[in-house]
Amino acid sequence: MENNKSRLLFCLALVLSGVLLGCSTAKPPAQPESKLSGPKLRIEDALAIARDYVQQHHVEVADSYIDSTRLDLNPGEGRGKFWLVTWQRNESANGHFIKGGQFIMRIYMDRTVEVFYGD
């Protein structure tokens, strides 16, 4: 009787240790990406990618300046965070900047680029 009790306790200890081991190695559930967590791609690297893209694709930005660069997140597209870099034309008429002509880039954390042109 004592031998069966020892075996039972031994089996129970094995099962519990397996459960505990499984719990400690299990990955936590994936959290949706938050704008509050830091980007995987540094802003300096994103700007270097933007500069390289402009040179490789012969995009004319000589009359433009980088107006803004910001970290953005569009959860609807499912691609996660991206750096949004916007060039603004440096032209004016009668002291007012000419509307339109923006060159806009999305630079994703995997270093892929999407390009848009402003109105």
pTM: 0.62
* Domain extent listing, the chain: 43-117
What residues pair up with 105 in beta bridges, in sequence order? 85, 115
- What the block records as the tokens of 97 is 């900047």
> For each of the chain's 119 residues, which pLDDT tens digit applies?
556 555 655 555 555 455 444 544 555 555 555 556 788 999 999 999 999 999 999 988 888 889 899 999 876 777 889 999 999 887 765 566 666 678 899 999 999 999 998 86
**CA dist list (Å): 109 to 15, 49, 66:** 43, 11, 20
Q: What is the distance between the alpha carbons of residues 100 and 53, in angstroms, rounded to a whole number?
A: 21
Phi and psi dihedrals of 33, rounded to 5? -65, 135
- What the block records as the tokens of 106 is 């999305």
